[in-house]
């Protein structure tokens, strides 16, 4: 029986960050427009446009063109409305955090976040994506939520550890 008293200190990286309104708007824009379906949407708009142009050769729009344009307009307004509502929610959430300050702790097993709103501890499996967008690091959690970390406020060791844990856990990384 081995009774060695060697204990390993768990790896732990703590960072304090402060997110500004401008950072939050930039992060929301990056998160909202990350949609990878732009090619399909562009193709659909192009096909509807061609169909409408062909229909206009007779000088009058047919039923199919009117329905297509109506659906296209409705989709556009829903998309724009979704952007503004989400942006407003992100800013409201930031404004409820005192001075936009939070503390993140990364360990081998968990990600912990603390702010004036409270704290949460999640396993790495809760993270879906780590993405760099300009000077921000976005942590995308399963369930369509994300956290914004200003890259300049992370220590190089904490960022390297975050990326290493992402790789070990099969989490997508982009923009690095």
pLDDT along the chain (176 residues), means of 10: 51 93 92 74 85 84 86 88 92 90 95 93 93 94 87 95 94 91
In the chain, the number of structural domains is 1
SS3 percent helix, strand, coil of the chain, rounded to 5, is 50, 25, 25
Confidence at residue 3, expressed as pLDDT on a 0 to 100 scale: 43
Confidence at residue 146, expressed as pLDDT on a 0 to 100 scale: 87
Give the containing element (helix H, strand E) for 37: none
Confidence at residue 59, expressed as pLDDT on a 0 to 100 scale: 80
Pairing between strand 127-133 and 172-174?
Answer: parallel
CA 120, CA 122: separation in Å to the nearest integer?
6
Asked if the structure places residue 6 within a domain, the reply is no
Asked if the structure places residue 4 within a domain, the reply is no
Asked if the structure places residue 101 within a domain, the reply is yes
Asked if the structure places residue 79 within a domain, the reply is yes
CA 83, CA 98: separation in Å to the nearest integer?
25
Asked if the structure places residue 2 within a domain, the reply is no
Q: Which of 104, 75, 97 has its CA nearest to residue 24?
A: 97
Backbone angles phi, psi at 20, to 5 degrees: -95, 170
Asked if the structure places residue 7 within a domain, the reply is no
Confidence at residue 8, expressed as pLDDT on a 0 to 100 scale: 65
**Residue 169 belongs to domain with CATH number:** 2.30.29.30
Asked if the structure places residue 1 within a domain, the reply is no
Confidence at residue 15, expressed as pLDDT on a 0 to 100 scale: 94
Boundaries of domain holding 102: 12-174
Pairing between strand 127-133 and 101-107?
Answer: unpaired
**Cβ atoms 31, 128 nearer than 8 A:** no
CA 55, CA 58: separation in Å to the nearest integer?
6
CA 23, CA 18: separation in Å to the nearest integer?
10
pTM over 0.85: no
Asked if the structure places residue 5 within a domain, the reply is no
Confidence at residue 19, expressed as pLDDT on a 0 to 100 scale: 93
């Amino acid at each position: 029986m081995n009774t060695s008293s060697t204990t390993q200190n768990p790896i732990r990286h703590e960072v304090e960050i402060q997110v500004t309104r401008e950072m939050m708007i930039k992060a929301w824009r990056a998160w909202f427009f990350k949609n990878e379906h732009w090619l399909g949407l562009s193709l659909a708009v192009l096909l509807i446009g061609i169909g409408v142009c062909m229909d206009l050769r007779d000088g009058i729009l047919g039923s199919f063109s009117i329905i297509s344009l109506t659906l296209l307009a409705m989709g556009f307004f829903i998309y724009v409305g979704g952007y503004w509502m989400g942006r407003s929610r992100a800013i409201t959430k930031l404004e409820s955090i005192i001075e936009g300050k939070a503390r993140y702790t990364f360990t081998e097993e968990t990600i912990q976040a603390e702010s004036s709103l409270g704290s949460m501890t999640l396993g790495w499996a809760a993270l879906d994506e780590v993405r760099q967008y300009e000077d921000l690091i976005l942590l995308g959690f399963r369930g369509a939520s994300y956290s914004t970390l200003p890259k300049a406020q992370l220590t190089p060791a904490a960022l390297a550890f975050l990326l290493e844990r992402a790789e070990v856990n099969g989490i997508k990384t982009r923009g690095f």
